[in-house]
Amino acid sequence: MKRVELDTKGLKSFVQSNELKEIAPMVQTARDLLVHGTGVEAKMGDWVNLPDEYDPVEFDRIKDAARDIQENSDVLVVIGIGGSYLGAKMALDFLHGSFFNLEGTDKHPQIFFAGNTISPAYTADLLRVIGDRDFSVNVISKSGTTTEPAMAFRIFKEKLIEKYGQEEANKRIYVTTDAKKGALHDEAIDQGYTSFVIPDGIGGRYSVLTPVGLLPIAASGANIDDLMDGAHEAQVALKDAPLYENDSLLYAAYRNILYRKGYTNEILESYEPHLRFLAEWWKQLAGETEGKNYKGIYPSSAIFSTDLHSLGQYIQEGMRNLMETVVEIKQPASNLGIPANEENLDGLKYLENTTMDEVNKTAREAVVIAHTNGGVPNMLVTAEDNSEATLGYLIYFFEFAIAVSGYLNGINPFNQPGVEDYKQNMFALLGKPGYEERRKEIQEQDNEKFH
């Protein structure tokens, strides 16, 4: 078996064989734009060759820094928003499971995330969790001026200085930022922080295999050599393979065939709670890549069987604009048998010779039958296991498919102009210098609404 495989049996009633043939030339063109760097904003496609071209010196420095963090810190606070935290959080849950932070810290620190919200309650809760324990900070920002992480960095930096003094605090701050410019870059130089580079040609949502994600992942005790080997394996298998031999391109093709038929919402689903942040990472990847020019597939997510008891009714009988993509782990990290019980008060005696994984996968099969019969197309992405190599492959699989999908829809896959709108309005309303005119415009708009 390949590390990651696509199963499209759940599309039989929804996609005809001729439709794949008809879209194939367009998929090939989109792939060529990405691989050959001839598409719009091609300068942001350096992640395509990253598994071959990452800096080995920087990579070794990441492992050294991770060991230092493991030796002197009970807690690592990772500060970032969007792609600056989602990839790392996704990887930690995928590799280590749902209760990673509760299983002791002899070999690795607890890893928490900040700067992805403006909530004072969340930040205060995290400060209480850290308490008097030793901790370090990894702050991730290209500019150093993004509001959410910049605020969090001020707060946790102050706590570091109070606890350790300026000199020792500086040794516990790890910066991931631009190579040449920006407020965070300048502060790192001035204070002597250990720093790592966010590559110019890789945007946030494609950055998990750069120092952005690699330092927290390595600090958790995961093997980042294996992670990059898995991504390299995917690059070799997917970058140049033709459509009918390429599950990543097939995924891009089928979801776009469905989109053109009116299936405008895609739900990424799993039957494993520790894959929840895989879906959160995927939602940013798909949403920021495709949602432009008033088009694009809307990405959403669910964890089954949990969400079958909340969303299941709508999926089964609601509007027929949904497609489902399920991510399944073929060999789960753990499995449990169903205990025998002579009284059988719960009626589960018929399951006593099975395991929870068998029941979980059977539930998935039952849902596919129900949903496809109800008019919801289904695709299945099967990952071999929860290893670092499989995760590296899966990351590349989705990044490649979504970028191709963007070009296939005739948009720029690598910008996100809409994200800036709320920021500009927030700066104006908070009175940031230089935004006086914007504030006046907002006030005038508000006045017009009420008169």
Query: How much is the pLDDT for 423?
Result: 65
Q: Which of 254, 250, 274, 251 is nearest to 263 (CA)?
A: 254
Structure tokens at 264: 């405008």
Active-site residue identified among 280, 288, 290, 324? 288
pLDDT grade for 379, boundaries at 50, 70 and 90:
very high
Taking the mean position of all CA atoms in its chain, how far away is CA 135? 25
- Return the SS3 of 101: helix
Query: How much is the pLDDT for 439?
Result: 67
pTM of this structure: 0.94
- Return the SS3 of 382: strand
Query: How much is the pLDDT for 425?
Result: 74
Query: How much is the pLDDT for 448?
Result: 65
Q: What is the distance between the alpha carbons of residues 448 and 212, in angstroms, rounded to a whole number?
A: 44
Domains of the chain, CATH where assigned = 4-39+228-409 (3.40.50.10490), 49-222 (3.40.50.10490)
Q: What is the mean pLDDT of residues 290-304?
A: 96
Catalytic: 12? no
The answer to whether the beta carbons of residues 399 and 285 sit under 8 Å apart is yes
Catalytic: 239? no
pLDDT grade for 433, boundaries at 50, 70 and 90:
confident
φ, ψ dihedrals at 158, nearest 5°: -60, -40
Strand spans (E) along 226-367: 265-270, 298-303, 322-329
Residue 268 neighbours by CB distance under 10 Å:
23
pLDDT in tens, 84-104: 999 999 999 999 999 999 886
Q: Mean pLDDT of all residues in the chain?
A: 94
pLDDT grade for 450, boundaries at 50, 70 and 90:
low
- Return the SS3 of 259: helix
Q: What is the mean pLDDT of residues 134-144?
A: 95
pLDDT grade for 305, boundaries at 50, 70 and 90:
very high
Does pLDDT of 451 surpass 80?
no
Active-site residue identified among 43, 295, 423, 440? 423
Does pLDDT of 160 surpass 90?
yes
